[in-house]
């Protein structure tokens, strides 16, 4: 483990960034697969959605409760296909720190969940891009941008 | 499954599905990353080991289990307390060796394989090999060197899933074991 860290820090910053981007997309991809499958197994009767907003509300309530045993803290939208889902105490980050310590490490712990949201949306027939950002742990925001074709 | 099931059990079931599906995605990814199944098995075992050395702390803090005095007691705790706590199943313990240093855990339904079908071209993949690493890592932290391995697997057409546990030795020094 120590050896691995050392070799990483010796890599050129550009190469390291590239490497991290790659591994984040692998994690995101795994989350996507899981989200897709999870979407199929969600209670059918609750899936009679008419509006996009209902689907997003469903993610914030039912999906989040199923996965993290809590609801999303807030949901905002610009009514043009961009949604911001905020969790003020995201379970994957809550044990890491409270504040700025380890804030650079946070993206690794969010990529999977971004994929999870995107995968579930995909099963529900919505194409999207999902990114996450952290200003201070353990709060984080997931931005969902709906892709219209 | 019925509509009446309350939210609590529903979400618990969901999180076990989440776990199973996540594990499936992990194995799938490893199969992409490595050319042969042996390497995937090795990697799963190593990841399991790293989980086990952490999980044991959680386990000891949550259960009221003290130090085990022999391997039989260890077997009981693993099957009846630990598997129950983390996977919701209770494997049965059988096939003790005469010396009492080997036994088998028989898993009726392995939750890791809930939605799995092994394709023919992965005949040497030990799908749930993570579990062996977890067992080895966790026991190492309580000074027991063991070997854990799958000797039967329903995924491969066997009647049951069997993990063979072999006690190697008691780890004497109290220095923290180095990482692999």
Chain A residues whose CB is inside 8 A of the B28 CB are 30, 33
Q: Helix, strand, or coil here: B10?
A: helix
The pLDDT score that the predictor gives to residue B163 is 97
- What is the arithmetic mean of pLDDT over B106-117? 86
pLDDT at A12 over 80: no
Please give the ipTM for the structure prediction.
Answer: 0.81
Q: Helix, strand, or coil here: A68?
A: helix
Nearest to B149 by CA among B124, B126, B168, B123: B126
Nearest by CB: B17 against A26, A41, A69: A41
CB of A24 less than 8 A from some CB of B: no
Looking at every residue in chain A, the average pLDDT score rounds to 86
**Per-residue pLDDT tens for B8-35?**
455 455 568 889 999 999 999 999 999 8
- What is the arithmetic mean of pLDDT over A55-79? 92
How close does chain A come to B178, measured CA to CA in Å? Answer: 10
Q: Indicate the pTM of the whole model.
A: 0.84
Pull the structure tokens for residue A139: 């709060």
**Per-residue pLDDT tens for B134-156?**
999 999 999 999 999 999 999 99
pLDDT at A10 over 90: no
Looking at every residue in chain B, the average pLDDT score rounds to 88
Beta carbons within 8 Å of B157's beta carbon, 6+ residues apart = none
Contact B15 A69 (CB under 8 A): yes
The pLDDT score that the predictor gives to residue B176 is 60
Nearest by CB: A38 against B10, B11, B21: B21
pLDDT more than 70, % of chain A: 85
Q: Which residues pair with A128 in a beta bridge?
A: A146
Q: What gap in Å lies between CA B141 and CA A129, rounded to an integer?
A: 43
Q: What gap in Å lies between CA A44 and CA A84, rounded to an integer?
A: 25
Q: What gap in Å lies between CA A65 and CA A56, rounded to an integer?
A: 14
Q: What gap in Å lies between CA B158 and CA B139, rounded to an integer?
A: 27
Q: Helix, strand, or coil here: A55?
A: helix
DSSP code, position A103: T
């Amino acid at each position: 483990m120590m050896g691995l860290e050392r070799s990483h820090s010796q890599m050129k910053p550009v190469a390291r960034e590239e490497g991290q981007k790659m591994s984040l997309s692998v994690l995101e991809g795994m989350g996507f697969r899981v989200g897709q499958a999870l979407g199929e197994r969600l209670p059918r009767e609750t899936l009679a959605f008419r509006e996009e907003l209902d689907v997003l509300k469903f993610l914030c309530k039912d999906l989040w409760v199923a996965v993290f045993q809590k609801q999303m803290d807030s949901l905002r939208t610009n009514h043009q296909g961009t949604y911001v889902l905020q969790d003020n105490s995201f379970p994957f980050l809550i044990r890491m720190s409270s504040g700025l310590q380890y804030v650079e490490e946070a993206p690794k712990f969010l990529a999977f969940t971004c994929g999870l949201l995107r995968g579930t949306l995909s099963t529900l027939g919505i194409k999207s891009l999902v990114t996450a950002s952290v200003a201070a742990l353990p709060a984080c925001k997931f931005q969902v941008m709906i892709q219209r074709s | 499954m019925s509509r009446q099931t309350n939210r609590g059990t529903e979400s618990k079931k969901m999180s076990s599905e989440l776990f199973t599906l996540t594990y499936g995605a992990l194995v799938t990814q490893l199969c992409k990353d490595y050319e042969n199944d042996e390497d995937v098995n090795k990697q799963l075992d190593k990841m399991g080991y790293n989980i086990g050395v952490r999980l044991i702390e959680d386990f000891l803090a949550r259960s009221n289990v003290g130090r085990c005095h022999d391997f039989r007691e260890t077997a009981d705790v693993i099957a009846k307390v630990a598997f129950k706590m983390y996977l919701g199943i209770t494997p049965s313990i059988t096939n003790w060796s005469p010396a009492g240093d080997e036994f088998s855990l028989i898993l009726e339904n392995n939750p890791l394989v809930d939605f799995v079908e092994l394709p023919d071209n992965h005949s040497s993949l030990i799908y749930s090999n993570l579990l062996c690493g977890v067992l080895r890592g966790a026991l190492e932290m309580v000074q027991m060197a063991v070997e854990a391995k799958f000797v039967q697997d329903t995924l491969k057409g066997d009647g049951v899933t069997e993990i063979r546990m072999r006690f190697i030795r008691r780890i004497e020094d109290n220095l923290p074991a180095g990482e692999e």
